A = this chain, B = another copy of it.
Amino acid sequence: MNGNTIIFKNSPGIISSAAIGGKMEGDGPMGEYFDKINEDPYMSADTFEKGESLLQKQAVTHALEKAALKASEIDVMFGGDLLNQCVGTTYGVRYFEIPFLGIYGACSTMSEGLLLAALFADGGYADKAVAVTSSHFCTAERQYRFPLNYGGQRTPTSQYTATAGGALIVAAGGDAPYVRGAAVGKIVDMGVTDANNMGAAMAPAAYSTIKQFFEDTGLEPAAFDAIVTGDLGKVGSRILCELFERDGISIRDNHKDCGLMLYSFEDQDVHAGGSGCGCAGSMLCGYFIPKLREGGIKNILFTATGALMSPTVNQQGESIPSVAHAVWLSHDKG
């Protein structure tokens, strides 16, 4: 590592990816980029949690099919989600019998999984590695906030957890897009205690990691078509841009936030934007990776952010530590 940043020696390629959504996600402006939309929030299962597991199963199944690979041809899988004990993942992927390493990074999970999958492929430890994640509005709402039937009011700074999953396959020697490098984030806690304002809690973590990546590599924001954050939403995105402006750096022109892309603010009631592991996961797998493959986009810095709290410690008065990991994806191998 140079600082927090790893530049991969062999730039492994992302040979396949798939995005799965729910009805809201299908109705939104990015609906066409999903491989599959589930109209039923239960996905025909009998609980929302089992439904979320099916999002992950569907995402991995589609990613494998698009690459014409069998599960037995995958060396290792990295997966995680927001549910207690990451059960969205473990129950969703147990059928595949792929060597499995569970990760927990809240909504930064797709960055972490991609980083680890690429590192295993880059270092010769795996030929093919999968990263998968998901989130679900109904499981998150009842786990983190209120029972769904309670119909709780939401504050303007709150975000709407995406019902979505994403999976990708990284391969040593694979074609574009290439994973060129990654910065592992530090935990940043600026003392925000409002669990209905995750964007404000996470923005300083995104700032810390992105800034460190630029310092470590000597690259400039202008080298990237997009600096993509996961789910900072309206509030967090504004804070991120302002933090960079204090340093005299403008990222407004090329900053994109998956939480601002996924829904229509005119037609859909999502307050400050989308959130959840599946928000960044599905936008990366459904939108950015195909665009990078075609060459319509040349370079992105994908930086999903996660709020590393639980309702328990938040109710004990604790603030919200956050983390962000940045992954450099490119159309060119370099």
Binding site for B on A (CB under 8 A): 1, 4, 6, 46-47, 49-50, 75-76, 80, 82-87, 90-91, 93-94, 97-106, 112, 115-116, 119-120, 122-127, 143, 183-187, 189, 306, 308-313, 316, 318, 321, 323, 325
The residues of B that contact A93 with a CB separation of less than 8 Å are 187
Kindly report how many copies of this chain are found in the complex they form together: 2
A-B contact pairs, 22 of them (CB 8 A): A1-B125, A46-B316, A47-B316, A83-B310, A84-B84, A85-B310, A86-B308, A87-B308, A90-B308, A91-B313, A91-B321, A97-B187, A99-B183, A100-B186, A101-B116, A101-B184, A103-B103, A103-B104, A104-B104, A116-B116, A123-B125, A143-B312
CA distance A13 to B46 in the complex (A): 48
Known: A86-B308, A101-B116. 6 other contacts (CB 8 A): A50-B316, A85-B308, A90-B309, A99-B183, A100-B184, A116-B116
A-B complex: 7 closest residue pairs judged by Cβ atoms: A123-B123, A99-B184, A90-B308, A85-B310, A102-B104, A104-B104, A84-B84
CA distance A118 to B220 in the complex (A): 32
Q: Are B6 and A90 in contact, CB atoms less than 8 angstroms apart?
A: no
CA distance A90 to B319 in the complex (A): 11
The residues of B that contact A313 with a CB separation of less than 8 Å are 47, 49-50, 87, 91
CA distance A189 to B95 in the complex (A): 9
The residues of B that contact A306 with a CB separation of less than 8 Å are 102
Q: Are A87 and B125 in contact, CB atoms less than 8 angstroms apart?
A: no
Q: Are A316 and B123 in contact, CB atoms less than 8 angstroms apart?
A: no
Closest to A6 in B: B125
CA distance A312 to B116 in the complex (A): 29
CA distance A138 to B99 in the complex (A): 32
Measured CB to CB, the closest approach of chain B to A272, in angstroms, equals 21
CA distance A99 to B6 in the complex (A): 12
The residues of B that contact A316 with a CB separation of less than 8 Å are 46-47, 49-50
Tell whether A100 pairs with B50 under 8 Å between CB atoms, given A125-B6, A189-B94: no
CA distance A90 to B125 in the complex (A): 28
